[in-house]
Amino acid sequence: MDFVELKRRSSTSRRLLLLAGIAAICLFIFRNSSSFSTSVKFSQHEPGVTHVLVTGGAGYIGSHASLRLLKDSYRVTIVDNLSRGNMGSVKVLQELFPEPGRLQFIYADLGDAAAVNKIFSQNAFDAVMHFAAVAYVGESTQEPLRYYHNITSNTLLLVKAMAAHGVKTLIYSSTCATYGEPEKMPITEVTPQSPINPYGKAKKMAEDIILDFSKTSDMAVMILRYFNVIGSDPEGRLGEAPPPELREQGRISGACFDAARGIIPGLKIRGVDYTTPDGTCVRDYIDVTDLIDAHVKALEHAKPSKVGIYNVGTGKGSSVKQFVEACKKATGVDIKIEYLSRRPGDYAEVYSDPSKIRRELNWIARYSLEESLAIAWRWQKVHRNGYN
């Protein structure tokens, strides 16, 4: 080997050494960068940490659930297509929990099987809370196929992905609409389910899919059937802000607050001749903080190969007139009321028997209707345009 050849070789090995050094430094920086450590945290199971996939976590109930889970030290992945939810609520959560590995948001549609499978293959979930859904009874009668697709078919895809990726705990958001118009009140979990609109039917079908699958697997399943959800975070960080175009479909609390803010001239009460104490419809209003507490208790009590089905309501019915009075008190506004004839399809009285969930999960509703509305109003007053 001559001198020139020797020099060439040693300069090549120096260059290789330099390159290896640079590569090692880059790898070190990358491994220690927050995005690497964050994605590793989400993609690997960690002893003592429960990673929950919250579908629909940008929506009203899902965002409150994410807040509670994060507060209780769970790791949370929100998947939402933002069709109805608010990125604003996700931003609030991101600001409250900025540490790597606490919260990630993934924009995806649950109807996209490839996207859903990719999410499951890149993340190590321990449990799923499935909130994502379109959820308006009136709209479901106008667009039934949308409801069967979004609720029933998407739940099927989600359960298939859970089975394929070995995720074994599911908390499912169901509804009292699956019971239809039972003759006997209060509604217990064994009251026959006979839904009368596509929303209730789609949810019942999704329940059936989950229940049939659970018979062939060791999945831990909790099905929670909510009554009418109201209220918001007592510390005023989150609220209910449906897209304005859904105002027409809206729920009574939204309408009351809109009337109190002068966005609509007043409230229309439809039907004053029902066989109820004051002639108006009676419903069971459950506070969102109480509802989420039921979810956390359900998650804690979920057992492999076991199914729990629970009504989540207060057990107390309030009439529309009582609701409006409570809303007037909460807002301090003398809301104008117009009495109209009955709306077809409304039933007189719906309220739950919550004794099973009290007995088995040690859960009770703590907020009264008045407290719940007062808390929600505080948020609504300062968020006239929702999260915008």
Ligand X SMILES: NC(=O)c1ccc[n+]([C@@H]2O[C@H](COP(=O)([O-])OP(=O)(O)OC[C@H]3O[C@@H](n4cnc5c(N)ncnc54)[C@H](O)[C@@H]3O)[C@@H](O)[C@H]2O)c1
* Position 244 contacts ligand X (CB under 6 A): no
Distance, CA of 299 to CA of 322 (rounded, Å): 34
User: Least distance to ligand X from the beta carbon of 292, Å?
Assistant: 11
Pairing mode, strands 282-283 and 318-319:
antiparallel
- Nearest distance, CB of residue 175 and ligand X, angstroms: 4
Residues 252-311 that bind ligand X (CB under 6 A): none
Q: Indicate the residue type of 169.
A: T
Please identify, using beta-carbon distances, which residue of 88 and 111 lies nearer to ligand X: 111
Of the listed pieces 34-42, 52-60, 121-129, 186-194, which binds ligand X according to CB under 6 A?
52-60
Q: What span, in angstroms and rounded, lies between the C-alpha atoms of 109 and 58? A: 13
Quick one: which of 100, 83, 214 has its CA closest to 150?
Answer: 83
CA 217 to chain centre: 25
User: Is residue 201 a contact point for ligand X (CB under 6 A)?
Assistant: no
Interface with ligand X (CB under 6 A), residue from 50, 81, 104, 232:
81
Give the contact letters, 59-78, x = binds to ligand X (CB under 6 A), - = no.
xxxx----------------
Q: Of 314, 318, 313, 323, which is closest to residue 276 (Cα–Cα)? A: 318
Q: At what angle do helices 113-122 and 154-164 cross, to 10 degrees?
A: 30
Indicate which single residue of 70, 119, 129, 132 sits in contact with ligand X (rule: CB under 6 A): 132
Give the nearest distance from C-beta 350 to ligand X in angstroms: 12
- Identity of the residue, 41 or 64, whose beta carbon is nearer to ligand X in the bound complex: 64
**How many whole angstroms separate alpha carbon 33 and alpha carbon 118?**
23
Active site residues: 199
369, burial (CB in 10 Å: exposed 0-12, middle 13-18, buried 19+): buried
Nearest to 284 by CA among 329, 347, 356: 347
Residue 351 interacting with ligand X (CB under 6 A): no
List helix spans (H) across 216-287.
Answer: 252-260
Where do runs of H (alpha helix) occur along the chain?
A: 3-32, 34-43, 60-71, 87-96, 113-122, 137-142, 144-147, 154-164, 198-215, 252-260, 288-301, 320-331, 355-361, 369-382
Is residue 228 involved in binding ligand X (CB under 6 A)?
Answer: yes
* Encoded tokens for 281: 């419809």
- Residue 270: strand, helix, or coil: strand
Comparing CB distances to ligand X, the nearer of 101 and 200 is 200
Contact status: 161 vs ligand X (CB under 6 A): no
Residue nearer to ligand X on the CB measure, 26 or 145: 145
How many residues lie near ligand X (CB under 6 A)?
A: 27
Q: Select the span of 2-10, 30-38, 130-138, 371-379 touching ligand X (CB under 6 A).
A: 130-138
Consecutive H or E run containing 170: strand 169-175
Q: Rule CB under 6 A: is residue 155 a binding residue for ligand X?
A: no
Alpha helix segments (H runs only) across 216-334: 252-260, 288-301, 320-331
**Position among 69, 74, 76, 85 found at the interface with ligand X (CB under 6 A):** 85
Question: Binding residue for ligand X (CB under 6 A) from 33, 34, 44, 83?
Answer: 83
Question: Is the CB of 177 or the CB of 259 nearer to ligand X?
Answer: 177
> By the 8 A CB rule, do 133 and 151 touch?
yes
Q: Is 133 in the site for ligand X (CB under 6 A)?
A: yes
User: For ligand X, what does the binding mask look like between residues 107 and 126, x meaning CB under 6 A?
Assistant: --xxx---------------
Rounded to a whole number of angstroms, the minimum distance from the CB of residue 201 to ligand X is 13
Which CB, 100 or 160, lies closer to ligand X? Answer: 160
First-to-last CA distance in the chain?
A: 74
Question: Using CB under 6 A as the criterion, which residues of the chain lie in contact with ligand X when the complex forms?
Answer: 56, 58-62, 80-85, 109-111, 131-135, 150, 154, 173, 175, 226, 228-229
